[in-house]
A and B are shown apart, each in its own frame.
Chain A
């Protein structure tokens, strides 16, 4: 009796660790501690679940340890090896594994029922776990492949994709309903059908969502995995799984909505993948004359500026230019130029992607300004340098009601005296939308790989100093 109570208390302490850890994670000063507290809570919960005295337990400890050791080593190795620029892919992949785990548990439980009869309540929970886990699994894997550049958006979509998805989802629901109400004796094959259909749906659901919407999808999938862990928790009668899962599910939804708000779009709109769709019909786009600037000329402008604002985007991550960016920053700061970074909430492929990259390069985080602060500081900025960003500085979000990003708050770089755009070529950005900023009279283009261009600037400024 006492032992059982002790283990219940241990679970409670584990749950507290997880909740407390996430709370700490949401404030900059305590974030690191939060992660450690949460991981200790998790570790405690795992150990407790292994030794918790449950009735009719078999001593399969060896198998459990084998699983934990293999999974632990693989996870540790992947996390150690990853480049900071590849972070969104990795988080997405980890998330997929979590979803797959929930899916497997659900199908095994369904197998266990076999000849018995499924109760409506627990059956509903079981099938939800199966569907959500499967969707989160394949959805995350496709998100990983897209972010890693292994799959291109246009190769996985077709006409009427959204209609197809909706109908497909209804079919899954129909099978689930049948399984719940009249599935007795047929649970095994029904389970496999629902699982496979859900896996296909997961792919198909993420397929039309692309470009700048990727961070939203990852956050949503993250939330889904949380929900599947929670429903699996009800299945296994484990409170701590429910607590952890629901916490992640709720947090993920809020984070997703926050990101949608930052883009001034509804979650629904993002999920339907309208971004890419309208952009294609808008291809006639903007044309005009653009002006180039040489590295040498720009170096002089920067050297004598009072305030410089760097606007990073995904291009910074692609060319691994964060360290060079910091060098330029250090060099200018030494010369009493104020340097700030304007971080748009959806810059990059993951929420806060740019913050992570710049932090990796040792940029102090009080130099990183959010949208409102950036726009205040852009008035009175001499030079704004756009490094591999595009849609987040596109003025057509304000002026062109036909633009797919119309209404999205942008960084008002045109408030600066001069705008410099570092870009590989005149091709439109990841979202495929033309950007009239490039043809403004204040704008100068510096073509080339972002890292090379910044390097040239650093060299030029050295000769000036």
Chain B
């Protein structure tokens, strides 16, 4: 319990950020028309590729002699980047098809 209290005390800003982002996320999505569900989901999916930054930070902290960690970190970056690049590109492809005709 004591450790948990310490964790909360040390990370109070992160906890605030977390709570407000949840509210913001709820706000942004409510009232989205059905037509945008797929692009929104795929766009959000691309954003979850932000995990790539963890991979980058990991590599930057790793001694180059630690080949195992370096390789695994590169794999994490590759996977994250596929998620980012593919996600945004495919969303753009989808959205470019939506047009209103007169």
A and B bind? yes
Q: Which residues of A contact B (CB under 8 A)?
A: 18-19, 21-23, 25-28, 31-32, 34-36, 38-39, 42, 45-46, 49-50, 54, 56-58, 60, 63-64, 66-68, 70-72, 74-76, 78-80, 82, 84, 87, 90-91, 94-95, 97-98, 100-102, 104-105, 108-109, 111, 119-122, 218-219, 222, 225-226, 228-230, 232-236, 238-252, 254-255, 258-259, 343, 345, 350-353, 355-356, 359-360, 362, 364-366, 368, 370
Q: Let me know if B29 and A365 touch, CB within 8 A.
A: no
Taking the nearest CB of chain B, how far is it from the CB of A367, in angstroms? 9
**Sampled A-B contacts (26; CB under 8 Å):** A23-B28, A26-B32, A28-B98, A35-B92, A46-B56, A46-B84, A58-B62, A67-B55, A67-B73, A74-B85, A75-B81, A79-B87, A97-B80, A101-B83, A121-B4, A225-B45, A232-B51, A239-B14, A244-B50, A247-B25, A248-B25, A254-B25, A343-B35, A355-B36, A364-B99, A365-B98
Q: How far is the CA of A108 from the CA of B70 in the complex (A)?
A: 10
Q: Chain B 25-52, CB within 8 Å of chain A: the 1/0 string?
A: 1101111111111111111111111111
Residues of B within 8 A of A104 (CB): 55, 72, 75-76, 79
Taking the nearest CB of chain B, how far is it from the CB of A351, in angstroms? 3
Q: Which residues of B contact A (CB under 8 A)?
A: 3-4, 6-8, 10-11, 14, 17-18, 21-26, 28-64, 69-70, 72-101
Chief secondary structure at chain B's binding surface: helix
Q: Let me know if B44 and A222 touch, CB within 8 A.
A: yes
Residues of B within 8 A of A18 (CB): 47, 50
Q: How far is the CA of A100 from the CA of B36 in the complex (A)?
A: 27
Number of A-B contacts (CB under 8 A): 380
Q: Let me know if B83 and A236 touch, CB within 8 A.
A: no
Q: How far is the CA of A76 from the CA of B93 in the complex (A)?
A: 11
Residues of A within 8 A of B73 (CB): 63, 67, 108
Residues of A within 8 A of B82 (CB): 71-72, 74-75, 78, 94, 97
Q: Let me know if A121 and B11 touch, CB within 8 A.
A: yes
Among B29, B75, B85, B96, contact of A72 (Cβ-Cβ < 8 Å): B85
Taking the nearest CB of chain A, how far is it from the CB of B78, in angstroms? 4
Output the nearest chain A residue to B86 by Cβ-Cβ distance. A75
Residues of A within 8 A of B37 (CB): 255, 259, 345, 350-352, 355
Q: Let me know if B50 and A229 touch, CB within 8 A.
A: yes
Taking the nearest CB of chain A, how far is it from the CB of B26, in angstroms? 5
Among B22, B43, B64, B77, contact of A71 (Cβ-Cβ < 8 Å): B77
Q: Let me know if A19 and B101 touch, CB within 8 A.
A: no
Chief secondary structure at chain A's binding surface: helix
Q: Let me know if A245 and B50 touch, CB within 8 A.
A: yes
Q: Let me know if B8 and A64 touch, CB within 8 A.
A: no
Residues of B within 8 A of A244 (CB): 47-48, 50
Q: How far is the CA of A247 from the CA of B38 in the complex (A)?
A: 17
Q: Let me know if A121 and B51 touch, CB within 8 A.
A: no
Q: How far is the CA of A84 from the CA of B89 in the complex (A)?
A: 13
Q: How far is the CA of A90 from the CA of B80 in the complex (A)?
A: 15
Q: How far is the CA of A233 from the CA of B56 in the complex (A)?
A: 12
Residues of B within 8 A of A355 (CB): 34-38, 98
Residues of A within 8 A of B32 (CB): 26, 255
Q: Let me know if B28 and A251 touch, CB within 8 A.
A: yes
Question: Beyond A105-B58, A121-B11, is A42–B84 a contact (Cβ under 8 Å)?
Answer: yes
Among B49, B78, B91, contact of A35 (Cβ-Cβ < 8 Å): B91
Residues of A within 8 A of B89 (CB): 75-76, 79-80
Q: How far is the CA of A54 from the CA of B83 in the complex (A)?
A: 26
Question: Beyond A32-B95, A100-B79, is A120–B3 a contact (Cβ under 8 Å)?
Answer: yes
Among A31, A45, A71, contact of B85 (Cβ-Cβ < 8 Å): A71
